Amino acid sequence: MAAALAVAALLLGLVLAPGRTWAQFSDTATVGTGTFTGTLASPAALSCQTEGLGVRIGWATPTNRRFSVRVLQTNGSQVYDTTTTDNSILLTPTLLSAVLGARYTIEVRTTAGTAWQSPQASTRTFGVAALGLWLVC
Amino acid sequence: MSTGPRRAVADPQPPRLWKPVLALALAVLLGLSGYTSWAYWQDTAEVRTGSFTAGQLDLQLDSGQAVGLGTGYTKTSIAADDLLPAETLAYPLTVRNVSGAAATYGATVQRGSTWTYDGSSITFRLFAGSPDTSDTSYPRQQTCSGSPLGAQTFVPASATSVINVPRALAPGGSETLCVLVGLDSASANANQGARGTLTLVLTSTQAVG
């Protein structure tokens, strides 16, 4: 009885769920895309104007980005670094521990993601005057 | 009237009929099976059919692209020259079954002929839906409506399926897909200025039953 049921089930299966095979037409359509590329632009030329005891360094573009800012002494040592999403930064003598006669260079790079930085930095030089109390462009 | 001694007379035997019956049967057989020949009329009627042309299971893309079997086209609008980390861009792609048979289709993606990215930068995902490209300012986070057809993947060097379950297309039916391409936020700085194209291969198969 069991054998008969098994055979019946097999036959039913063959009819309903085809062990039958037949050729099936097919087609392949391929899409090639254009190119994906991207490079971070450097900030536009830096502007400088005095503001209180310090100087405000600004740049117009790009907007809505994140920027890495470094301030270096003339000997290349870094005295300050930060990141900002603004398009300007106010530097003060206190922030830089400025001393009379010192000159500094500010470097600004655009950043994106966790690792990208614009290949080129935009730079501007400024100095310290009047007993180290003021920054001047 | 004298009566002689009676002789025993044998019962009449039944006539042996098999010989005439056999002869008659043979004659009938010969008569029927044509040993007898005679003239007869005949006719031949010939039917010619129209031609039988095999159909094609043709999967076409967008507006009349990739027409014919095994064809492809370059959709240059799926591209970006200013893609930055953490951005995703969405693009439409229409798939059309122009044959008279129901079909299913799947898709694979792989790097195109141009590729200088590392393996952990450009991401790809396919949706059954339409692109929302309203976000145009950095960081662009464009999206696709509808449901994803597979997991997001970094674009691989060799073909990898991006549709988990084959999609059904009725004869003459079409479906709008949304291609979502992104640049991972953790992409290494060395990928700046890298270039890459993608190859998406859609394969349709005649539905069974």
Per-residue pLDDT of chain B (209 residues; tens, 9 = 90+): 444 555 555 555 555 677 777 777 765 665 555 555 667 889 999 999 999 988 889 999 999 999 999 999 999 999 999 999 999 999 999 999 999 999 999 999 999 999 999 999 999 999 999 999 999 998 999 999 999 999 999 999 999 999 999 999 999 999 999 999 999 999 999 999 999 999 999 999 999 86
Q: Which domain holds residue B170?
A: 59-67+81-203
Domain count, chain B: 1
- A29, A62, A119 member nearest B66 (Cβ): A29
B33 interface with A at CB cutoff 8 Å:
no
Q: Is residue A84 within a helix (H) or strand (E), and if so which, with residue range? A: strand A78-84
B145 contacts: CB under 8 Å, gap ≥ 6: B127, B129, B130, B131, B132, B178
CA distance A22 to chain B (A): 9
CA distance A62 to chain B (A): 10
d(CA A47, CA B118): 37
B123-to-A20, B39, B138, B190, B197 alpha-carbon distances in Å = 41, 85, 18, 17, 12
Q: What is the CATH number of the domain that holds B158?
A: 2.60.40
Closest residue in chain A to residue B189, using alpha carbons only: A116
Indicate yes or no: CB of B69 within 8 angstroms of CB of A116: no
Task: Annotate A86-121 with b (16+ C-beta within 10 A) or e (fewer).
Answer: ebbbebebeebebeeebebebbbbbbbbeebbbeeb
Q: Which two tokens stand for residue B170?
A: 């009725």
Q: Which amino acid is at B1?
A: M
Domain count, chain A: 1
Q: Which amino acid is at B98?
A: V
B177 interface with A at CB cutoff 8 Å:
no
Asked, for residue B191, whether it belongs to a domain, the answer is yes
Q: Which domain holds residue A97?
A: 47-136
Asked, for residue A7, whether it belongs to a domain, the answer is no
Q: Which spans in B15-88 are helix H? A: 18-32
Asked, for residue B42, whether it belongs to a domain, the answer is no
Number of Cβ within a 10 Å radius of residue A41: 16
pTM of the predicted protein model: 0.78
Is there a contact between B203 and B161 (Cβ–Cβ < 8 Å)? no
Q: What is the CATH number of the domain that holds A66?
A: 2.60.40.10
Indicate yes or no: CB of A27 within 8 angstroms of CB of B203: yes
